Structure formats: structure tokens, C-alpha cells
Amino acid sequence: MNSYYIINLLIYAAVDAMACLGLNQQFGVAGVTNFGFIIFQAAGGYTAAILALPDQSANGGFQTYIGGWNLPFPIPWIGAAMVGGLISLPFTFLVGRRLRGDFAAVGLLVTAVLLNLLVTNYRPLLNGSAGLSLIPQPLQGEYNAQSSGYQWTLTAIAIVLCAVVYLFVRRITESPYGRSLRAMRDNDVVADSLGKNLFSLRSAMLVTGGAIAGLSGGILVSYITTWSPAAWGYAETVVLFAAVIIGGAGNHLGAILGAILVPVGFEEVTRYIPTSNNLPPNLIPSLEWVAIGLLIVIFLWVRPQGILPERKRVIRAGAAAIPPTAAAPPPPEPPVPESMAPEPAVPMSAMPVSVLRPAGEPPGDREVVLEAVGVSKEFGGVRAVDDVSFTVRRGTLTGLIGPNGAGKSTLLAMLAGTLSVSGGTIYYQGRDVTRLPAYRRARLGLVRTFQLASEFKRLTVMENLLTAVPDNRGDSFRGALAGRRYWRGDEAAAIARAEALLERFGLDGYANSYAGDLSGGQRRLVEIMRALMAEPRVLLLDEPMAGVHPNLARRIGNQLTALCAEGLTVLMVEHELAIMDEFCDPVVAMAEGAVLAEGTMAELRSRSEVVEAYLVG
Amino acid sequence: MTIFLASVGFGLVTASVLAVAAIGFTLQFGVTDVLNLAYGAVMIAGAYLAYVLNQAGLNIWVGLVVAVAACSAGSVLLNSGIYAPFQRRGATPITMVIVSLGMTLIIEFGTQAIAGGTSVSYTMAQGPSVRAGGLVLTTVQLVVIGLSVLVMLGTHVLLRYTRLGKAMRATAANRTLARNCGIRTSRVITLTWAITGALCGLAGVIFAMDAGSFDATSTDLFLILILAATFLGGPGQAYGAMLGAVVIGLATEISAAYITPSYKYVVAFVALLLVLGVRPTGLLGARA
Amino acid sequence: MSAKDDTGSADDHTGSTVPGAPGARGVELRATGVTAGYGGDPVIRGITVHVEPGQVVSLVGANGSGKSTLLKSLVGVVRVSAGTVTVGDVTVTNRPPEEVARAGVGYVPQVDDVFAPLTVRENLEMGGYLLRPKEVKPRIDHVVTVFPRLATMLARPAGKLSGGERKMLAMGRVLMLEPSVFLLDEPTANLAPAVARSLLEEHVRSLAQGGASVLIVEQRARAVLAISDHTYVLAGGEVRMEGTPAELATTPAFVESFLGGTVTR
């Protein structure tokens, strides 16, 4: 009895913890709110059942179901995980970028309710509301399933599998891929602009979480030997959400703690409530649900980060300097460009690797790197940009000025590919890129920043920078699974580049601060540095100094000038013309969708049409 | 043909109940920006309150009035005590939905804790049946349809011709600009909760009348119909909700006549998922 | 609808003493040392502006210099962290926007300036929300005489108007109350130059001639200077210079400051 009780407790704890880990991976780490999570556990349960059960006529036919293949352990569990993952695929269309998160969540919730209804009512499929019973336990023919030794072994296997799942999700979460997931959670639009494929990331999380949920369902039915629609009502998903929120969303240990406190804890607490004859039969379970609802609301109000909050990923300064162990592949060091001559203003010698991709020619060559030919943009009949042609030369810090509504930001967006052109052609490095989407241009080295603050708030400054690194071997599902040794080289190189940038922009003291805690000006810096991490050849900056203290603006200007001297090309929209005076050459003046003039700021100031444009508008 | 006409009759009643519920739900979302999934739970709490009064010997129509008032007051409290504080703190839409799910558990199972788990029915006369062109409807069903038509007309009058209704639409469209016009939007929002809460209570009682018997979890599935009608018409769009209610109500009941009745919700479900996947702004929605 | 949270004499929801009455004219707007922002670093710092009845006062300066933020802080949309804002004798610092409106301030924001799903007539009705019901219709009739273009499109949803019509509606909406103080945030943005000039010269100027205090933010510096009694030049969230248009026109530093030049503080 006592042993049975402990076994029961441990198995439930392992199963619930596993499910919470899967849900936490989706919700806490990747920000995918899957209110249909229980469907996948249910699918795993049914799959394990029909794989393990003999044909439906075997038990005298008192229950009807499809399948009944009588397959040996561990096939039912493997099948459970696979089916849990596979049935996630149809749901991926709900979590693309088009649908609001809360609407997608509603869609998944409704799906969970409806599938339960279908299974309940359609008996031939899975025996309807009565559910399946007499599900064979693993290897019950070979061993005595009633013996405590057998039960303890099953328990141990469940716990070991739970530990494996924990290591698995941790491996994903702590990789560069996991960082991309967390970035998507914090700000999906910006993650998208950095070349993260939101659909693929979310789909991978749905499938991963679904497989984990399926496995947990498979283990559960193997132990309790029954499975019915009553076990997976929509409210069970809410219980798992409660567990993850209370334990600490984004923290896998928190998810395990939540699983022990909420589903397991509630089961155990009610065991000790005396069943009195005076109480209505449904009272205790009802009050349990009420308590779970209260816990969710109270926790979201009092401690939304949960008991064990997501921990900060601190990356030590100089971590990259530690040479990788012999077993690790050597980091692919990019060749140091010739143009990286020591620069007195910046401690370049301290930089282990280059900040930038090799620039090719030395600066001063001034060949055209970006060109707009007759580019136009119409918005509902209004020409925001009208037949604009101009060129940007390599190694220059080109300014783009003009009164409000001149079409500067629109032009910048078309150059970057975030807006399509209504007419005209854009050449980048001699190649027609007019039809290339933004992320493809970004991969070619044409990178933009946004006017609005766009940092990932719950990532550190260092992590914000690392997110933008293209081609990190660990920034894919497969790479993450391959483990730290596979990607540590890329990571170390990226960290070294990030540290050099941080030092350069004077933010090295904030590497391990959450980006959300920085001041407005510092956030602008983070965004510029993040854009630089994407290894741009041409950087398009949209008002990088807006709302930035003049001293800081000057520092940004100095650093951009230095970067241009190393071969970077910058095109910058800016309203503070003093900045243009000091740093930009040439400056292009626009008004009412057209280019008015080009030259140094001093030249422009002497041109009456520019002055008029500003004064009259 | 008889089956078809009978199912049209059922469909009209379901559509009527659904329209009342969906108008309230969609206005709540449109004006106050809360996707209140606890709406179904509040409905059933109202229905159960009417049942308690009914058991105490009161006429069910008196119970209905009390339930409407109680749900109105309860919804105002739900907002001022729970949703509004979370919104003031800047909670994300997802957090708001999770909070509303928590409130669903509290209200729904709180009702169950009091009511017990068994199904209950109102003690009421169905009244003589009325035949019209092959349709057979009881007096109560006709009253439900009549009430629903009144609610739709009332909503139309409210939104188009009254100062409050226009202020509600202005608040939904642009809250800051509404305040710049001198509209006390917090008061408009409170009144919106009162009105939509009343509709929720009315929907709860007529839902229970239509269903015949109900328990605390009966609106779990009905909430799906409400969501389907709301999203079909475009979230926040009152006229869209009316259209959505008629489409979903008729579609579910007519399909129920030809396939097993327990699958009738599948129609609503498919409609909802299609709308969410293809056109999240709904048929009448224009908001991006 | 109790009156217990009412703040001043001009605050009455039935609108009997609201700015609709001609007697409400002659109210000055005064902002003293206003510092405000969006939670982080302040966007504007220690700005003092003053508008007397019958005056058009303009705010010019580069984008990002804090002009719009100043207007928003005056009407209670952005929180003021230091300084005071008074309308006549009433202090409205950090009062909610609806109370500032009730104190007789009409505000036309730069964007989101109409209720897109509502018809033109309904937009005007919302503008006249504080009027007595029976005053609304005559007032709409008056507004469409000011903006005759609106008369033919009263039943059209505001979201379907052209840019110029939309701005007229936004101005007309504010005119409904005949406020004593007008705050206009780039009313001519995206308008054709001729339309912009007529909007400024006919409508904005006539507001002041009717006795109102008008504070206007404009990109079109020369056009707005032509109708201004006084102008403030903002840069970096502070007032860099001020004066009458005539004074500014003769100051080389004005054009210089507007086009950037060298930053000297």
C-alpha cells in the first residue's frame, strides 16, 4: 500500500513534469501559447494504447478501437512521441506571423474542446466516452506487472525519461537556437527582420512540445492502463499552464517545480481531505478547480515571473579568450582584413577577431555599392517617393535629410527590402536586388535598423548582439541538438566580436544587463551594435540618434566614422542636421519624394532650394 | 423536408440565443479590449441564479430579470477588480487571455461547487405550440426569438442613435482621441461592461431555457459557438456578431439534422478555424 | 453621472457653461518649465510657452525636437514630470485628457486624428460630446459652413476620406465645442501646398481672430510664420530661440538653427 502510494506519486510527478517541460519550452521559452497542449498528451496516450492493445475482439469485444497491434515495449512509447509530434503539424498554420497571439491561442483552445467532443462521441475510433482500458503494461507477459519490483522499475524508467527530456529541452534552450527562440518570444517582428524564420521556429516548438507531451501520455497509460476523454478536458491544459506560470515560465527547473506543486500537489492534498457524508460529491473537485484559477490570477498579479524566475544568461567577459578544448573543432576564424590597420581611437589590438567581414578594397576606392534608379513608391495614389535616383559609395557615411514627409524612411525601407517598390530598380554591389526579400538582402550584407526601439527586453545586451550573428552553427534545431561542442567555436568567435563592439561603443559594462533595463540612448546603441553583428557591408540607419543625448550621439557618430574608415558603408537618415555637419559626407537632401541636392552639409546650406524646402515644407 | 424545417426552427432558436451572447461578447472585446473567455462561465452563473430563484417559487421570467441584473453587476466587478488592474499594468493580450481562463475556472467551478454536479431544469410552462409554414415552435421559443430580435434592434439603436453608443464606438476606434473629445472613457467602459454583462445574463437564462437542462459546465461548448460567431463576423463588430450568430446557429442545427447531433459543433469549429487561418478580421471586419 | 469628480467651473458634462458659449473666450494657455517623456529619459526639458487670446503661436523645429510631445503633455496624453500647465485660471497639469478637453482645450493630433469607422457626422457629434443634445445639430450646420466640403459627405465613414478631407474633419471636430484654446499638431502634414496655405491662412488665423488662443506645430516654417504672432524654435527637447516672426526673420541664427548649423548651447 505504502509502496504503491509512493510509486503512484513518483510516476505522476514524472509524467506531469515531462508535460510541463514540453509546455514550458513552447510557452516560457518560445512564447507560443498553445492552449491545446493536452491534445498532444491525449494523442500519445491513445497511440500507446492502440499499439499495445491486442485486436479489439481479443477481450471479448467490450471495447472498440482502431489499431490493436499488440506491439511490444518500447514501440508504444516511441509511437506515442512520434504521433504527438506529427499531429502538431496541422496546427502550425495557426502560429505563423499573421495571426495575433491571443487569437491563435483561442483557436488552439477551441480545437482541444472539439477534439475531446469528437473522441467522446465517436465510439468506433477510440471507444468513445468510456475510453480504453486493460491497456497492457510494458513487457507484462515476461514479468509480473503486479510485483513491486516491476512497478519500481517502471517508475525508475519514467523518472529517467523525465530527466532525459529535461536535458533535451535544456540543451535546446541554452543553445544559440534557444536564444533565437527567446528573442522571438520578446519581439517577433524584430526577430523576423534579423532573418529568424518565425514559422519554422514556432512549428519546431509545436512539434517538439507535442512529441514530449505524447511521450508523457504514453508513459501514463502504460501505468494506469486506461485512457478516456475525461482525462484530457481543456481545463487540464489550464492546470499545466498554472504549473508553468507558478513554477516560473522560461525556467525548466521551475516547470518541474510547478508540476510537483500544482497537478501532483493538488492530487495529494485532496487525498487528506476527509470525505464526509455531509459534503456534496462534486464539492472538493470543484473547489480544486477554483483554487487553480485563483492561483493563476494571484500569481500573475503578485509574482508573474513565478517561483523560480527565468535566470539571466551571464556571459563572462573574456570567455571567448579561453581556448577551446582539443576535442572541439577550431573556431572558424575569419581572415583579418588588411583594412584593419591599428586605429588609435579604438583599442583594436584588444580585439581577438575582426568586427567586420573583410571589406575587400581599402577605403577611398569609392566605387558605387548601392544604387537606386528611378525608384518610386505609391501609397493609395500618393507618391511618397517619386522617381528617385542616387548612389551610395563604398566607405562613405552618407546622410539623408529632408523635412517630414520627404520620403526618407520610405526610401530606406525600399532599399532594405522591408517595403516593395512601385517602380524603379535597386542595385546592390552591381546586382539587381529589387525583388529580393529583406532577409535575403540582409544575408548579402545590406542591413537596416528601425526607428522605434526594438531590443529584446529579456535578453542581456550580449545576447541581443549574439542573436544577430548569421550562420552560427548552433542557431538551428539540429545544431542545438548536436551540443555545445558543435557550436562553441562559432559562439566564441561571436562573443569576441560582440565584446569588441561593446568596448568600442563604451557599453562593455552593460554586457550582462537586460536590454530592457537600459536607457533610451543605450538601447539605440544596442540596436546599432546588433546590426553590426549581422556583418553588414552596407548599414542603413533610420534616425539612430533620435532621442539620444548629444554626447552619446557624437560618440555614435565617431564610431560610425571609424567603421567607415575600415570599409563599412553607412546610409543614415537623421534629423539633427548638426550631426550631418559633423560626420556625414556626402549628404543627400530630399523633399516631397524627390532628391533636391547632394553635397556636403555646408554646400547644401548655401543652396536656396534646400533652405526653402525646410522653411516652406 | 419536415426534418429540414424542424432543424430550421431549432436553428432559429439557437441563433437567437447565440446572437444575444455574441453581441455582448464582441462588444466587450471591441470597446474594452478584453477577450473575456470567462463570458460562458458568467452566463452559466446567471442561469443558475435564475434556477435558484425559480426553485424558491419565483416565476422564471422574474428570475431572468434578476440574473440579468446580477450578471451586469458581476461583469462590472470582474472588470474593475481583475481585468482593469491587469490592463493598467500593461499586461499583454496573452496574459489577459490566461487571466480570463483563470477566472473561467473560478466562476464556472465556483458555480459547480454551489450547484453540485447534477443537471437542473427550470420549472416553467412551454406554452402552446405555434405552427407557421411548417415550422413548429413553442411559445417560449418564440419569446426567446422575440427577445433576441429586440436585443439586436436595441443594439442597433444604441450604437447608431444614442450618445452612449456612439461614445462606445468612438472609444473602441480610438480611445485617446475619445478622451480628447472630453469623453470619460473609463465611465464608457464601465457602462459597456454593465450592458454586455446584462446581455451575458440574458443569454445565460435563455440558453438554459433552450437547452432544457444544464449544469455548470454546459457553456463550455456554447462558448465555442460564441467565439465562432464573433470571429466569423469580425471581432469587435456587433453587426458581424449578429450575422455570425445566424450563420453558425442555422448551420449547426441544420447539420445536426443530417449527421449525429453530437457533431453539430464541428461545423462551428471548422468555420472558426477557417476564419482564423484565412481572414482573422472576419467577414465584416476591416481592422487589420 | 454625478458631478463630484468635476474640477472647475468650466467642467459640466451637460455643457451649459462649456466653451461652447462665446463668453468662454479670452483664455490664455501657459506652460511653465514643462519636462515630460514616455517613461525613460525626458523628451522635452523645461519648456515654457505662453499663448494669449487672439494669438497664433507656432512651434517649429526639426523632427524629434519634441514639438508633438509638448502638445501631448499639455493635453494630458503624456505625463508631465515637472512644470505646470494652466488654461486661464485652471491648472490642468497631468489632468486626464478628458478633463483637459472639458477645461476648454481642443486638440488635433498629428495622426489618428479621426474615428475611422464612424461617419463624418458621428465624428462631429463626438467632437460636440460635451454640448447639450439640442445644440449639436446647429453646431454641425455651422461647422459645415466653415468646411463646406464636409457637407456632402456627412454619411461617409471617416476612414474613407482623402488626406485633406480628413484634416478638415479633424479640425471641424474640434470646432464643434468652440474651445478657447486650440492645439494643432501639424494640421497641414501631407496636404498639397495650396491646400495647406489656405488651411493656415483662412482657418487657423480666423480661429485666433475669433478670440481663441492657438498653439500650432508646423513643419512648413515659412507658411506658419506668416500667420504667427509669436514663434518658438525647439531643438533637442528645449526652446532654442523665440520671438515674433519679424524678429526671427532678421536673425541669421534662425535659418541657421533650423538647418542645423553647429550646435552651440
* B94/A33 Cβ within 8 A: yes
* B272/A99 Cβ within 8 A: no
> What parts of chain A have a pLDDT lower than 70?
1, 59, 95-99, 275-277, 317-365, 380-381, 451-453, 547, 615-617
Q: Which residues of C touch B282 (CB under 8 A)?
A: none
Q: Which residues of A touch B95 (CB under 8 A)?
A: 300, 304
Nearest-CB residue to C102 (from B173, B174, B182): B182
pLDDT of residue B283: 66
User: Which of A:367-396 have CB within 8 Å of C?
Assistant: 382
Nearest-CB residue to A289 (from B97, B109, B277): B109
Q: Which residues of B touch A35 (CB under 8 A)?
A: 101
Q: In whole angstroms, what is the distance from residue A379 CA to residue C178 CA?
A: 34
Kindly state the cell numbers that stand for A596: 533636391
Q: In whole angstroms, what is the distance from residue A108 CA to residue A115 CA?
A: 10
Using CA atoms of A245, A251, A256, A261 in order, give the dihedral in degrees to the nearest 10: -40
ipTM of this predicted structure: 0.92
A586: preceding bond cis by omega (within 30 degrees)? yes
pLDDT of residue A96: 61
Q: What is the DSSP code (8-state) at residue C199?
A: I
pLDDT of residue B180: 95
pLDDT of residue A63: 85
For residue A295, give how far its alpha carbon lies from the nearest alpha carbon of chain C (Å).
Answer: 31
Q: How confident is the model at residue C263 (pLDDT cuts 50, 70, 90)?
A: very low
B19 touches chain A (CB under 8 A): no
Which tens digit of pLDDT belongs to each residue from B149-205?
999 999 999 999 999 999 999 999 999 999 999 999 999 999 999 999 999 999 999
Kindly state the cell numbers that stand for A206: 509545436
User: Which of B:152-211 have CB within 8 Å of A?
Assistant: none
pLDDT of residue A359: 43
- Mutual orientation of helices A252-259 and A234-247 as an angle, nearest 10°? 120
pLDDT of residue A277: 64
Among chain C residues, CA nearest to B236: C117
In Å, how far from its chain's centre is CA A115? 29
Q: Which residues of B touch A290 (CB under 8 A)?
A: 105-106, 109-110, 113
C252 touches chain A (CB under 8 A): no
pTM for the predicted model, two decimal places? 0.86
- Three-class secondary structure of residue A384 per DSSP: strand
- How many beta-carbon pairs below 8 A join chains A and C? 74
A608 touches chain C (CB under 8 A): no
In chain C, the N- to C-terminal Cα span, in Å, equals 51
Nearest-CB residue to C219 (from A550, A579, A617): A617
Residues C155 and C123: beta-carbon distance below 8 Å: no
User: Which of C:151-210 have CB within 8 Å of B?
Assistant: 159, 173, 177
pLDDT of residue A451: 66
pLDDT of residue A522: 84
Q: In whole angstroms, what is the distance from residue A472 CA to residue A177 CA?
A: 9
* C221/A616 Cβ within 8 A: yes
Among chain C residues, CA nearest to A615: C221
Query: Measuring CA to CA, which residue among B229, B34, B88, B232 is closest to residue B148?
Result: B229
* B231/A241 Cβ within 8 A: no
Q: Which residues of C touch B158 (CB under 8 A)?
A: none
C130 touches chain B (CB under 8 A): yes
For residue A304, give how far its alpha carbon lies from the nearest alpha carbon of chain B (Å).
Answer: 10
* A577/C236 Cβ within 8 A: no
Chain C: list its partners (3+ Cβ pairs within 8 Å).
A, B
Beta strands A397-401 and A569-573 are: parallel
Beta strands B129-132 and B135-138 are: antiparallel
Residues C186 and C194: beta-carbon distance below 8 Å: no
Nearest-CB residue to A296 (from B102, B263, B269): B102
For residue B232, give how far its alpha carbon lies from the nearest alpha carbon of chain A (Å).
Answer: 13
Neighbours of A596 (CB within 10 A): 18
Q: In whole angstroms, what is the distance from residue A406 CA to residue A399 CA?
A: 14
Which tens digit of pLDDT belongs to each residue from A238-294?
999 999 999 999 999 999 999 999 988 887 877 777 766 677 777 888 898 999 999
Which tens digit of pLDDT belongs to each residue from C185-203?
988 877 777 878 888 888 8
Mutation site for B-interface testing, chosen from A98, A106, A189 by largest number of B Cβ within 10 Å: A106
Q: In whole angstroms, what is the distance from residue B154 CA to residue A238 CA?
A: 37
> What parts of chain B have a pLDDT lower than 70?
1, 282-288
Nearest-CB residue to C223 (from A575, A581, A616): A616
Q: E strands within A334-381?
A: 368-379
C116 touches chain A (CB under 8 A): no
- Three-class secondary structure of residue B217 per DSSP: coil
For residue A254, give how far its alpha carbon lies from the nearest alpha carbon of chain B (Å).
Answer: 18
Q: Which residues of A touch C62 (CB under 8 A)?
A: 575-577
pLDDT of residue A437: 82
Among chain B residues, CA nearest to A288: B109
Q: In whole angstroms, what is the distance from residue B170 CA to residue B181 CA?
A: 10
* β-sheet bridge partners, residue A376: A423
CA angle B4, B10, B12 (to 5 degrees): 100
* A576/C220 Cβ within 8 A: no
Q: In whole angstroms, what is the distance from residue C142 CA to residue C133 CA?
A: 15
Place of cell 481479443: A58
> In this predicted model, which residue has the larger pLDDT, A366 or C28?
C28
- How many beta-carbon pairs below 8 A join chains A and B? 135
Residues A403 and A573: beta-carbon distance below 8 Å: no
Which tens digit of pLDDT belongs to each residue from C48-86?
999 999 999 999 887 678 889 999 999 999 999 999 999
The average confidence (pLDDT) of chain A is: 84
* A404/C223 Cβ within 8 A: no
Residues A243 and A267: beta-carbon distance below 8 Å: no
Among chain A residues, CA nearest to C221: A615
For residue B163, give how far its alpha carbon lies from the nearest alpha carbon of chain C (Å).
Answer: 8
